[in-house]
Amino acid sequence: MTLIKSISGIRGTIGGRTGDNLTPLDTVKFAAAYGTWLKKNSGKDKIKVAVGRDARISGKMIQELTMNTLTGLGIDVIDLGLSTTPTVEVAVPMEKADGGIILTASHNPKQWNALKLLNNKGEFLDGEAGAEILKIADSEDFTFSEVDELGEINVVADYIEKHIEEVLKLKLVDAGKVADAKFKVAVDGVNSTGGIAIPALLKKMGVEVVELYCDPNGHFPHNPEPLKEHLTAICDLMKKENADLGIVVDPDVDRLAFIDEKGEMFGEEYTLVACADYVLSKTPGNTVSNLSSSRALRDITNKHNGNYQASAVGEVNVVQLMKDTNAIIGGEGNGGIIYPEAHYGRDSLVGTALFLTHMAEKKMKVSEIRNEYPSYFMSKNKIELTPGLDVDGILKAVQQRHDGEEITTIDGVKIDFPENWVHLRKSNTEPIIRIYTEAKSQQEADELAQKMIKEIEEIVSVS
């Protein structure tokens, strides 16, 4: 069982001993630390926080603990109930809240839950704020409110509907064209809140919906990470129902994967590529993804005469670089679409609406759209090292071996070769180097990964 504290929040498994898992006491302590930080930094006498959750079995318990801890600090709470990560992000500025908490462990299995923390813009906290909250939690320096100053909880149960309304208002979303196309779409909501939000959006756009695992009961019917090996049921359903598109989301609905009319994966990396292609065709500009995302986004951006840049891994880093470069769309290769016209957060509802409009305009099958994009293949590996080894020194040695290539060191070492790339990142919690490669064939990507593993082994053997 595990409890992981980081600058972006706290996550862990339910049950077990305090300090080792996400127990009620750990939940209260971290919620109190966040509330204390807000009170210290807001400059207001009275503040409020929006709180929503995915459909995990533990969600109601964790939400009640979180909300009542905040009211104990004198903070008013907007209870969004069953929600999605992007819905909470949208709700914070719409409600003029001072912060937000999303109770979700994203793609982790059902025994996990987490508190993810937002600022008053509905964006994830930066490293400085996160570190300060961790410090407050460790010190347990909390001052709770007296009885006449307790906060209040206000239930607002329709924010998914409000979120959908905001998506449909986007200039590049054309629900009329989508309705005219008469699409039939299958949805795997992994029995979480995507099973509420995605079908509701599709029906508003005039789409015929075939629902699979859309009951938000928290009993995930398969591993909730939207990868090919976990999605056999919807791939089979696509062929059985003769559907035009398959949509898969993770439990908190910030990762989006498509399946084509043949029941084949579109590729999570290509969710962002396709949405960016559509957006750039209408509004030329810059794009951003992280260093471990596909080169295909760079190629598509260049095709539209834009400028592509890569950030360190992590949504907060992608968002910051998007702001710095005025990027009009960006995200992460795991199916995360960030479209600033909506908000600065990964949003599967926005991605779905943009892609359906793209399909309607092109009048092409999903497989045909995919074939328009350059094909790259990724390999993801890791090498475990003996504790005590100088991992930074090893990465430096790899960098020196390839100093004639294009190298980026903002997050580990990324080496861009003319036809492929490798990204090496160290783990913050264990002696591991993660090795991501991409090439124009799976064999080439795998071979490049093995070559880098051998190089690291050579460096270690002589160090």
The catalytic residue positions are 106
Q: How far is CA 327 from the centre of its chain?
A: 18
Degrees to nearest 5, angle at CA 200 with 196 and 203: 150
Angstrom distance (rounded) from CA 205 to CA 353: 8
Residue 95 and residue 166 in contact, taking contact as beta carbons nearer than 8 Å: no
3-state SS, the chain, equals: CCEEEECCEEEEEECCCECCEECHHHHHHHHHHHHHHHHHHHCCCCCEEEEEECCCCCHHHHHHHHHHHHHHCCCEEEEEEECCHHHHHHHHHHCCCCEEEEECCCCCCCCEEEEEEECCCCCECCHHHHHHHHHHHHHCCCCCCCHHHCCCEEECCCHHHHHHHHHHCCCCCCHHHHHHHCCEEEEECCCCCHHHHHHHHHHHCCCEEEEECCCCCCCCCCCCCCCHHHCHHHHHHHHHHCCCEEEEECCCCCCEEEECCCCCECCHHHHHHHHHHHHHHHCCCEEEEECCCCCHHHHHHHHCCCCEEEECCCHHHHHHHHHHHCEEEEEECCCEEEECCCECCCCHHHHHHHHHHHHHHHCCCHHHHHHCCCCCEEEEEEEECCCCCCHHHHHHHHHHHCCCCEEECCCCEEEECCCCEEEEEECCCCCEEEEEEEECCHHHHHHHHHHHHHHHHHHHHHC
Degrees to nearest 5, angle at CA 98 with 95 and 102: 80
